[in-house]
Amino acid sequence: MSCTVSVPGSHPLIYLNSRNLQLILPHTQRPLASYSQPYTPKFLGLQHNSGIWPAASYGEGVIIGILDTGIWPESESFSDSGMPSIPQRWNGKCENGTIFSSSDCNRKLIGAQSFSKGIKAAGLKISKTYDFDSPRDFDGHGTHTSSTAAGNQVLGVSHFGYARGTARGIAPGAHVAMYKVLWARDTDASAASDVLAGMDQAIAGWWNDGARNSIINGAPWITTVGAGTIDRSFTATVTLENDSDFEGSMRHERKGAKIKSMRFLTTKLGTKPEPQVAFFSSRGLNPISPSVLKPDILAPGVDVLAAVTPNVPFMTIGNYDLVSDYELNSGTSMATPHVAGVAALLKAVHWEWSPAAIRSAIMTTAYSIDNTGSILKDETTGLPATPLDFGARPYRSKQSHGPRTHL
């Protein structure tokens, strides 16, 4: 289906439901039907018939708190179909605000609050054009991270024809509580007091740099996540508004690209060598506390398919701005919710484990060998990476919940 949506912008906006999108679909080396399982959970080793997914009942009973730009509650990723009752221990709330009502919450999205007193006290005004003074997400970042961590199963979604299949979070049985602490002015803004207010009930962090000594969230009690690639790539031929033609990987594509036309070519699975440390992933040492080795772990952070807000144009083709309800995004922001979801799965199996025990289980069961049998490589240099690039190595689910790491 398609329909016109009214949002800020200079072009007509076309909404493309990702399940029914029929642009020029990519020719694939395997049938599209083979992509029915979400890709990054599979890459992490999560399986339906064995391992931590069934052992944890997919995270049932766990609550994941997200500090971000808000959430789009109408997304099918936050449907409460098949979800259990809200845990009795839950004391949070769903607040009312601009285009957001407490009735927008359900058994999946059980809490939604916004924290903006800090930026308002600093004399900064929340944009009325590019944000909502409520837990509602405008940017799409918080919706993407939340659905990556704990989104419900949604069949037949894609990124404009790419990565067609099922969207599902790492802990799809877990509940979500959103704490909006990032706000739009001319750029994303937050106040430390607002973040700290949100951290009364949840912890989160993200940053992208790629340079040495660029770790920001490096406190010893925080699990700091680097971004890695996965063994899947997409190619396309793109013609820009200046009639320049490019053919290559769509990896790390940016929103807002002025595209005249696009032709999808191939989806490749099993690319090698993978994973690699993504070029944008921040590296250690921590410039503030260099004795605290960071990052802690590497997780998929490139071309992650998850829910977004269907009101922000992803690209412009000709005279039309295109938006969708699911997109492939890249960043350490995409890697972090994978680990948050894994932590929720471990907590569901081991309620007695502390955050430090969960982090230890994740780090001590990671691996440092890519799919060619060699040490992980740095995408920027092509050379072997080090623990200052990937931490304890990329996470793989097979052993982290078993006796080997039972603390």
The residue type found at 65 is G
Give the domain range for residue 320.
2-405
Q: Residue 286: which residues within 8 A CB-CB, separation 6 or more? A: 213, 215, 218, 292, 293, 294
In order along its 407 residues, the chain shows pLDDT tens digits of: 333 333 344 444 444 455 444 333 333 333 333 344 578 998 998 999 999 999 999 999 999 999 999 999 999 999 999 999 999 999 999 999 999 999 999 999 999 999 998 888 888 888 888 899 999 999 999 999 999 999 999 999 988 878 888 999 999 999 999 999 988 875 555 556 566 655 554 444 344 455 666 666 667 888 989 999 999 988 777 787 778 877 766 554 445 556 777 777 677 889 999 999 999 998 888 777 888 888 999 999 999 999 999 988 877 777 778 889 999 999 999 999 999 999 999 999 999 999 999 999 999 888 888 999 999 999 999 999 998 888 875 666 655 554 332 22
Give the model's pLDDT for residue 301: 94
Any catalytic annotation for residue 231?
Answer: no
Shortest CA distance to 59 belongs to which of 82, 76, 36, 88?
82
Model pLDDT, residue 1: 30
* Rounded Cα distance, 27 and 16, in Å: 20
What is the pLDDT at residue 6?
34
Residue burial 346-385, b: 16+ Cβ < 10 Å; e: rest? bbbbbeebeeebbbbbbbebbbbebeeeeebbbbbeeeeb
SS3 40: helix
Q: Are 270 and 370 in contact (CB under 8 A)?
A: no
- CB neighbours of 186 closer than 8 A, spacing ≥ 6? none
Selected catalytic residue, list 79, 114, 214, 333:
333
Active site residue 378: no
What is the predicted pLDDT for the residue at 15? 45
What per-residue confidence (pLDDT) applies to 203?
41
What per-residue confidence (pLDDT) applies to 36? 44
Position 398 scores a pLDDT of 55
User: What's the pLDDT at 250?
Assistant: 58
Alpha carbon distance 171, 3 (integer Å) = 32
Confidence at residue 360, expressed as pLDDT on a 0 to 100 scale = 92
pLDDT at residue 313, rounded to an integer: 81
What is the count of structural domains for the chain?
A: 1
CATH code of the domain covering residue 16 = 3.40.50.200
DSSP 58: G
- The dihedral sign for the CA sequence 63, 64, 65, 68: negative
Q: Which of 75, 114, 137, 141 is catalytic?
A: 141
158 assigned to active site: no
pTM, rounded to two decimals: 0.84
Residue from 18, 68, 116, 214 carrying the catalytic annotation: 68
pLDDT of residue 54: 96
Determine the pLDDT at residue 96. 96
